[in-house]
Amino acid sequence: MAIDALACLMAWYRDHCDGDWEHRYGIEIGTLDNPGWRLAVDLTDTELEGRTLNRIVKETSETDWIQQWCDGLKFEAACGPLNLGEAIEAFCVFINRPA
């Protein structure tokens, strides 16, 4: 995983912790049983609330894959066991793209 992507995720989280947001919303990283990872970032009450992303699917192999999407309230990604860095990078691309 690119250190810049992790730094981006941590900075975005820090910038939205205002004493209220982090008590109701947040970021979740979990595992999937196929195996893989899941990333979910709440966008409610942020400048990104309402920004959507149609599902993007990239499948190179059974273990090398990523899917990402956003319904306007939550950015989500699911990926293979070695693609967590790519999922975090996808979030950073999402938040930095023009509205």
Task: For residues 58-84, give the mean pLDDT.
Answer: 97
Residue 87's pLDDT band (boundaries 50, 70, 90)?
very high
**Could you tell me which residues are beta bridge partners of residue 75?**
41, 70
Residues 81 and 25: their CA atoms lie apart, in Å, by 25
Q: Write phi, then psi, for 3 (nearest 5 degrees).
A: -60, -35
What is the pLDDT at residue 98? 83
Look at strands 52-59 and 36-42 and give their pairing. unpaired
Q: Domain locations in the chain?
A: 3-96
pLDDT tens per residue, range 18-32: 999 999 999 999 999
**Could you tell me which residues are beta bridge partners of residue 41?**
27, 75
